[in-house]
Amino acid sequence: GNSGMIVSFGEMLIDFVPTVSGVSLAEAPGFLNAPGGAPANVAIAITRLGGKSAFIGKLGDDEFGHMLAGILKKNGVTADGIMFDQGARTALAFVTLRADGEREFMFYRNPSADMLLKPDELNLQLIKSAKVFHYGSISLIVEPCRSAHMKAMQVAKDAGALLSYDPNLRLPLWPSPKEAREQIRSIWDKADLIKVSDVELEFLTGSDKIDDASAMSLWHPNLKLLLVTLGENGCKYYTKNFRGQVEGFRVNAVDTTGAGDSFVGALLCKIVDNQNLMEDEDKLREVLKYANACGAITTTKKGAIPALPCDSEVQALLKG
Ligand code: ADP
């Protein structure tokens, strides 16, 4: 269709994932290398559902970087905002699957190419074309990329884009909730739409209760929509005028990687051409049901990108 452009900004990287749980990557009998990086997953989630997206980020001028750029292009994501660093290598994530199913990350970032993105390298024309600008980098505290990220967000906002933010907090990178809150504040306070997971909400508030009061303690006056994802239980939503929960779908989950990105991609796909749905609770609930269905389907297959659904798969789950 003729939908508006959604620009997703942050890193794309390779996840090295052991084939078994409960051991480190070094001890595993085998591993897979899977393309990842939350903002890249979001960009592909959008095109797979029939929307229009671009990815902006920096890769190494190495075999991994070119492979990742190729995956974006093959999936119909506009690649005009991708840069290649001539010195540093593409970011890598070494994943440990803990026995309890949680994932732990170690990153190659000494620095990796994404961290070296400079403000004067940004494709400003592409950023200005965004109806929705989604930010989801894990490297927002590092210079020079922090300055580039802040500039991109400002340019998008000045051009009238809706600003969406997923903090994607990776706990080893964030020594304390206080520090995390301080570092993300400059972005948090600009965002129109914020999505956090229940785990991130607990971390940011320092409370193990996920209730309306703890969610609302993160509210800021210019925010239009705050979402808290609850895994199989769906999501909670908060706006100025209403709040509630939309139940999730019961599926046979085998790998939850990318579920949150799939959820965000689906939501942005629906919001980009209908920004006032955030003021209409019935319409918003319908869209969140769709986003929950996308997230649920993503958990039924291994990996993130291979598991992102197309619209007809989502419609099939919604029909039941
Ligand atoms: P994140 O991936 O950011 O941690 P969640 O795990 O909460 O986020 O998942 C995002 C969304 O994906 C949820 O709101 C829900 O709609 C869907 N989802 C995630 N896990 C499951 C599951 N086990 N069963 C059904 N739906 C799920």
Q: Is the CB of 164 under 6 A from ligand 1?
A: no
What's the pLDDT score for residue 172? 60
Q: How far is the CA of 279 from the centre of ligand 1 (A)?
A: 24
Distance 103 CA to ligand 1 centre (A): 14
Q: Which structural domain range is residue 170 located in? A: 5-314
- Please report whether residue 289 resides in a domain: yes
Ligand 1 pocket, residue 263 CB under 6 Å = yes
Q: Which of 235, 249, 256 has most ligand 1 atoms within 8 Å of CB, for mutation?
A: 256
CATH code, domain with 16: 3.40.1190.20
Mean pLDDT of the chain: 93
The reply to whether 143 falls in a domain is yes
pTM flag (> 0.90): yes
How far apart are alpha carbons 177 and 250 in whole angstroms?
A: 32
Ligand 1 and 309: CB distance under 6 A: no
Low-confidence ranges of the chain (pLDDT < 50): none
- Provide the pLDDT for residue 166: 97
Nearest CA to ligand 1 atom 2: 260
Ligand 1 in contact with 43 (CB < 6 A)?
no
127 is a domain residue: yes
Ligand 1 site, residue 231, Cβ cutoff 6 A: yes
**What is d(CA 5, CA 133) in angstroms, rounded to the nearest whole number?**
9
Does 319 reside within a domain?
no
Kindly calculate the radius of gyration of the chain based on its CA atoms and give it in whole angstroms. 18
Contact 251 CB / ligand 1 (< 6 Å): yes
92 part of a folded domain: yes
- What is the reported pLDDT for 173? 65
Residue 1's pLDDT is what?
Answer: 52
Q: What is the pLDDT of residue 83?
A: 97
Q: How far is CA 254 from the centre of its chain?
A: 20
Regarding the beta carbon of 299 and ligand 1, being less than 6 Å apart is answered yes
Q: Quote the ipTM score.
A: 0.98
Residue 320 forms part of a structural domain: no
Question: What's the 300 CA to ligand 1 centre distance in angstroms?
Answer: 11
- Number of domains composing the chain: 1
CA distance 187 to 168: 13
Q: What residues contact 92, with CB distance under 8 A and at least 6 apart? A: 13, 14, 16, 64, 107, 108, 112
Residue ID of nearest Cα to ligand 1 atom 8: 260
Cβ distance 43 to 8 under 8 Å?
Answer: yes
Integer angstrom CA distances of residue 239 from 42, 180, 222? 23, 23, 10
- Three-state DSSP at 78 gives strand
pLDDT digits (tens, 9 = 90+) for 286-295: 999 999 999 9
